[in-house]
Structure 1
């Protein structure tokens, strides 16, 4: 029997080969008034789907009418190696309690069920529209202003995750030589470890605040309601306390896309400045500060964001190498890893020199 503070757990494993039967078993508990024969299920594709654009899970939307929809997310193969699923549930509940995320209904053996967020997945082209990107900046600031649930300073996600990724790569033996045997474009593990140390030495002293971050804000994790002129974020797998500038720099990197990465789409300095001004106005308002914005504040944040965008590319480069080994999803993770790491090395010297 669960207490009021515990999340309902249903001891069921969703078998993808007979998903409907497994999911109906979940819904008998979550929606007992739904007749099984009336339940409609709509699955996302393995890569870019109806309900989410993630590339590590499968998602199924379940409903009997438009008034209620339950999302069933089945975790990707071996993603528990580098994702803390219990922590994900805690972040889901914290965000929902602060009005910034959907309600989570239950966990099951290999996934979770949660509330559907109505609206349309954001189109890439809208990232450059001021009326839209200012909404995104303001919403990110609202999430960043959510205080930690305890008085203890939260640990930042970045360095512990990079350390975990490097350990997993070392255990796999994949990049032990001078270059990857299967892809000479990937650096050796020793070089990647050296780069991680270099990043930590350079970025840690910058003074970027520790805030609650989404950490994976690509366009397909943004739901846009053009009628209400609102945006909401979804897919909080990587949500955790982290550097403020990492979350922003990571989002700017996502302007380049996922399927066919094009860093020619990276936001211009002018767009970044406008985005950062909108962010700072919202962040200061949410944290009870004087909302006046100075040019120096924008410039300081811009420099921090550039530098932490390096960490974002490095982070997802390592992540993609691991996914190429473990994931059963049909996506060219190797090519993605090469693109992200190439961008890191291309911009490292320029961004390290920024003052």
Structure 2
């Protein structure tokens, strides 16, 4: 078996067939858990993912010892930087924000299974739950892994996705339904230019962001009373307000999307107050201070920034879904999802652009 050290992380030269995970997953377990009786290994396939294939392997009925095998989806290297994902996974693990990472293999990762339930849109509206989520996001945003903060990833990512859409979808013969309810290339280029100009002036801090905090990427452990975030493919330094606005968009769900579930202003202000209190406390602890009082001005400023940045989230995931529609083998209507995100972008834009922080 080819095995080498990739930094401190073990690498196994095994490829897992995306269409048939079991044989490759069991080969990985023979390397990672040689003491397991191969005849007793059980597996559970998770079907919620729309980017990758995911399987748990375990021998204990309670899944206390489970290892997750995540197999990268087809062509996901177009929009996921796998080296960056590994680095960020290890940074988050070092700060208590991620599970143990066991190894990488040719087309995926193996890591610790987190006990708990993956949340749904019905959970994230609950004040007790969203307090935990806001605090966990603050904990992640307070990590200063690089000392000096790099540029936000949002603009590079948006332009990269737009470029792929332009070269792979619009310049080649493709799905005729693509052009129904999907804006023209000229309009898309104009909107990307506008959103970059508009949002980059808002002064949102650049922090270490999850960037993909949909409900199923939040695991609630009732026994321990905490939430943890999973899936760090899009984790990078980015605008604070983008990460929060993106999460608020995800209140609408993914499989069945309903933007009436987008949080009300009252819910957002409660959420943001929890977040700011935790974020300020964590940053002040780093600087030897204390407290975490949140002023009304700070709250209003973040509220305005978050709702404006939610526009960029719609554009980004609409482009992503168009690319997935062309390449992914996962059973999900990506084209319909892209159209929903474009529609919501244009619907939300007029109201969002009228938001201003009062003098």
Normalised TM-score (structure 2): 0.92
* Aligned-residue offset at 1:4: 8.7
Q: Secondary structure, in 3 states, of the residue corresponding to 1:8? A: strand
Q: Secondary structure, in 3 states, of the residue corresponding to 1:345? A: helix
Residue in 2 that maps onto 1:159: 155
| Cα 1:68–1:183 shift into 2, 3 Å | same
CA contact (8 A) 1:208 1:245 kept: yes
Q: Secondary structure, in 3 states, of the residue corresponding to 2:200? A: helix
Q: Distance in 2 between matches of 1:262 and 1:303?
A: 22
Higher alpha-carbon deviation: 55-64 or 13-22: 13-22
Give 4+ residue runs of structure 1 displaced > 4 Å after superposition. Answer: 1-4
Q: Choose the corresponding residue for 1:60, options 55, 61, 73.
A: 55
Q: How does 1:121-132 map to 2 (within 5 A)?
A: 121-132=118-129
Structure 1 unaligned segments of length 5 or more: list them.
49-53
Q: Distance in 1 between matches of 2:273 and 2:76?
A: 36
Q: Distance in 1 between matches of 2:95 and 2:258?
A: 35
| Cα 1:80–1:199 shift into 2, 3 Å | same
CA contact (8 A) 1:180 1:188 kept: no
What RMSD in Å do the two structures reach over aligned CA positions? 1.8
* Aligned-residue offset at 1:19: 2.9
Q: How does 1:307-346 map to 2 (within 5 A)?
A: 307-346=308-347
| Cα 1:133–1:175 shift into 2, 3 Å | farther
Higher alpha-carbon deviation: 77-86 or 11-20: 11-20
Q: Secondary structure, in 3 states, of the residue corresponding to 2:170? A: coil
Q: How many residue pairs are counted as aligned between the two chains? A: 346
Q: How does 1:15-30 map to 2 (within 5 A)?
A: 15-30=17-32
Normalised TM-score (structure 1): 0.93
Match status 1:100 vs 2:121: no
* Aligned-residue offset at 1:17: 4.8
Residue in 2 that maps onto 1:260: 256
Residue in 2 that maps onto 1:117: 114
Q: Secondary structure, in 3 states, of the residue corresponding to 2:9? A: coil
CA contact (8 A) 1:218 1:251 kept: yes
| Cα 1:342–1:61 shift into 2, 3 Å | same
* Aligned-residue offset at 1:166: 1.0
| Cα 1:134–1:164 shift into 2, 3 Å | same
Match status 1:76 vs 2:59: no
* Aligned-residue offset at 1:265: 0.7
In the TM superposition, what whole-angstrom CA distance separates every residue of 1:326-346 from its partner, at most 9, and x where no partner exists? 111111111111111111111
Structure 2 unaligned segments of length 5 or more: list them.
none
Higher alpha-carbon deviation: 252-261 or 242-251: 252-261
Match status 1:139 vs 2:140: no
Q: Distance in 2 between matches of 1:145 and 1:254?
A: 22
